[in-house]
Chain A
Amino acid sequence: MKYFRPELLARFRSANDDVASAAAVEWDQATTNYVDAIHTLRPELPLSVCRILDHFTLHDAQVLSIVESRRRPILTMLLRLEGSKKRPGRHLQLIYSLAERVRGFSLKGARQPREEWRIQYDEFDALSLASPKVFSHSMLLAGGAEMRIRFAKLAVGTPRRVIVPVVEKSGILP
Chain B
Amino acid sequence: MTLIDSGTPGQTPAVTVHAAEPIPGPDGVVEWWGPVISDTTAIARLKLEKDIVVRGPERRANRNKARELMIAAYNGFEEDAPHGGRMALPHFHPPDHDPEGVHAFFDSPPRHAKKRK
A residues apposed to B, CB below 8 Å? 4, 9, 12-13, 17, 20-21, 24, 27-28, 31-32, 34-35, 53-57, 59-60, 82-87, 89, 115, 118, 120-123
Contact = CB atoms under 8 A, between A and B. Distances in A.
Nearest to B86: A35
B80 to A, nearest CB: 7
What's the dominant secondary structure at chain B's contact region?
loop
A60 to B, nearest CB: 7
A107 to B, nearest CB: 21
Given A20-B63, A24-B108, A55-B26, A84 B102 contact: yes
B45 to A, nearest CB: 13
B99 A85 contact: yes
Nearest to B77: A13
Interface of B: 24-26, 28, 49, 59-60, 63-64, 79-86, 88, 90, 96-97, 99-102, 108, 110-111
Contact of A57 (B60, B84, B86, B97): B84
A35 B82 CA distance: 13
A20 B60 CA distance: 9
Closest 8 CB pairs of A and B: A84-B101, A59-B83, A13-B79, A12-B81, A85-B49, A17-B60, A27-B81, A57-B26
